[in-house]
Structure 1
Amino acid sequence: MLWYALLVGAVAGERLVELVVARRNAAWTLARSGVEYGRGHYPVMVALHSALLASCLIEPWLARRAFLPPLGWTMLVVVLLAQALRWWCVASLGPYWNTRVIVVPGARLVRAAGPYRFLRHPNYVAVVAEIAALPLVYSGWLTATVFTLANAALLAVRVRCENAALGRAVAA
């Protein structure tokens, strides 16, 4: 299980890098009259993602889960693909990418770059895949189920907030 703990630690480290990029991008967008929306759900999102990482380690340990190679290796590939998709989103949006919903009034939507050519919210596809797959790398089916459902509820709020914010900003 040591290698799994290292994987979860690497994902946590990646989250910290995301926060550094997001903070830099927030300063950039706010300096250009960016407006933040959805502040109320942001702490819930941070708590959910933090609890997911902790639960990924706790469930296999407490429930004495076994590593099941066909499931584990497949889910590891899904986690790695989710990370690749996430960073493709970050690169495609450049300074507009953020973990918060901050939009610059009058800015044009990115629709022709990277994965945004194919999906409206590809970053959330990465998040959904990662939340389902990371716990399953080490047979954490309970964590995968609980956090997938919690994330679905959170994303219902988040996507509605983001779509409304982007609609207002583009119309401005």
Structure 2
Amino acid sequence: MNWWMGILFVFLVLQRLIELGIARSNENWMKEQGAVESGAKHYKWFVLTHSLFFVSLWAEAQWKDLYQLELNIYLFVLFVITQLLRIWCIASLGRFWNTKIIILPGANLVKKGPYRFIKHPNYLVVLLELIIIPLMFHTYITAIMFPFFHLLLLRVRIPEEERALGALEKGR
């Protein structure tokens, strides 16, 4: 793995760790307000999949001995756009953003930022990242496997989240 790949890899790992800290803080705040978690059974599969994504990315790059690769500027621009979209999603949800499904009874459904346009923009951003990042690293096996795993998980996650959000709307 060359220098720019190493820097990007460390950035991504640190970013995810920071986001987990934000999610934990938001979870604690929401639960203090009376929030309830839903869909906890499948959450471990998200953690496993996203952890293995980084292992796969690193391992495939090492296996391919990718030391001479130039940074693809077009993919990097797409990556930066996805990061800006990620920040927009998190900022739009504010204290309600989380990696888990946590619903605060009595709260209004957030319909600002990208949530004005689509219901689950963060899942789209993650899907794009799971394609773009491995393509930047020339780790094509990872680029195929992990978007597929993500889509499989979303088949469970989105209906569970919709049920929880539906219950929130009914309670209003």
Q: TM-score, normalised by structure 1?
A: 0.92
Query: Is 2:64 the partner of 1:60?
Result: no
Point out the more displaced range, 113-122 or 77-86: 77-86
Contact 1:68 1:139 (8 Å CA) reproduced: no
Contact 1:106 1:171 (8 Å CA) reproduced: no
Q: CA deviation at 1:68?
A: 6.1
Contact 1:135 1:143 (8 Å CA) reproduced: yes
SS in 2 for 1:30: helix
Q: CA deviation at 1:152?
A: 0.6
In structure 1, C-alpha distance between the alignment counterparts of 2:163 and 2:117, rounded to whole Å: 20
In structure 1, C-alpha distance between the alignment counterparts of 2:38 and 2:69, rounded to whole Å: 41
SS in 1 for 2:138: coil
Aligned residue identity for 1:119: I
Name the residue aligned to 2:126.
Answer: 127
Contact 1:132 1:144 (8 Å CA) reproduced: yes
Point out the more displaced range, 156-165 or 77-86: 77-86
Name the residue aligned to 1:117.
Answer: 116
What is the percentage of aligned positions where both structures have the same residue? 37
Q: CA deviation at 1:67?
A: 2.9
Q: Which runs of 4+ in 1 moved over 6 A?
A: none
Instruction: Spell out, residue by residue over 1:10-35, the C-alpha distance to the aligned partner (whole angstroms, 9 max, x if none).
Output: 01100011011101110111111101
In structure 1, C-alpha distance between the alignment counterparts of 2:168 and 2:29, rounded to whole Å: 16
In structure 1, C-alpha distance between the alignment counterparts of 2:49 and 2:73, rounded to whole Å: 25
SS in 2 for 1:36: strand
Number of positions where the alignment pairs a residue of Structure 1 with one of Structure 2: 169
Taking only aligned residues, the RMSD between alpha carbons, in angstroms, comes to 1.4
In structure 2, C-alpha distance between the alignment counterparts of 1:97 and 1:152, rounded to whole Å: 20
In structure 1, C-alpha distance between the alignment counterparts of 2:114 and 2:104, rounded to whole Å: 21
Contact 1:68 1:138 (8 Å CA) reproduced: no
Q: CA deviation at 1:139?
A: 1.0
Aligned residue identity for 1:164: R
Name the residue aligned to 1:149.
Answer: 148
SS in 2 for 1:155: helix
In structure 2, C-alpha distance between the alignment counterparts of 1:74 and 1:59, rounded to whole Å: 22
Instruction: Spell out, residue by residue over 1:14-73, the C-alpha distance to the aligned partner (whole angstroms, 9 max, x if none).
Output: 00110111011101111111010111111111111111112111112212356365xx33
Q: TM-score, normalised by structure 2?
A: 0.92
Name the residue aligned to 1:93.
Answer: 93
In structure 1, C-alpha distance between the alignment counterparts of 2:69 and 2:154, rounded to whole Å: 30
Unaligned runs of 5+ residues in structure 2 are: none
Name the residue aligned to 2:35.
Answer: 34
